[in-house]
Amino acid sequence: MESFFCSEISHREEAKPAAETRLSYSAGGQNFGQVSAESLRRTNELEEMRQRLEARKLLVDKTSIACKVTEQDVKEKEENLSAEVRSLLVGGTTLSVAKSKLQESNCQLEGESGYAHLKIVTNKLRKRQQFMVSLVSFIYPLKIEAGPSQDQELESFPGGSRLVGTKPMSQGSVRILGLPFSMAPFTKMSFFTDKKEVQKSATALGYVAHAVFLLAPYLGVPIRYPLRLGGSKTYIRDYAPYIEPSSSDISPISTLSQNTKFVEFPLFLDGQDTTRAAYAVFLLNKNIEQLLNFVGENSLGPRQVLANLKELIRIIQSPNYIDS
Q: What is the pLDDT of residue 276?
A: 86
- Give dist(CA 177, CA 172) in Å, integer: 13
pLDDT, tens only, 36-59: 888 888 888 888 898 989 898 889
Q: Is the dihedral of CA 217, 223, 226, 228 positive or negative?
A: negative
Q: What is the pLDDT of residue 146?
A: 56
- Give dist(CA 76, CA 94) in Å, integer: 27
Arithmetic mean of pLDDT over the chain: 76
How many distinct structural domains can be found in the chain?
1
Residue 106 lies in a domain: no
Q: What is the pLDDT of residue 135?
A: 92
- Give dist(CA 162, CA 159) in Å, integer: 9
Average pLDDT over residues 79-89: 90
- Give dist(CA 67, CA 69) in Å, integer: 5
pLDDT, tens only, 121-133: 888 888 898 899 8
If phi > 0 it is left, if psi is from -120 to 50 it is alpha, else beta; for residue 29 that is alpha
Residue 42 lies in a domain: no
Q: What are the CA-CA distances from residue 102 to residues 105, 119, 284 (Å)?
A: 5, 20, 43
Q: List the CATH number of the domain containing 183.
A: 1.10.418.40
Range of the domain at 318: 173-242+260-322
4 vs 97: which has the higher pLDDT: 97
Per-residue pLDDT at 210 exceeds 90 = yes
Residue 70 lies in a domain: no
Residue 126 lies in a domain: no
What is the length of the chain?
Answer: 324
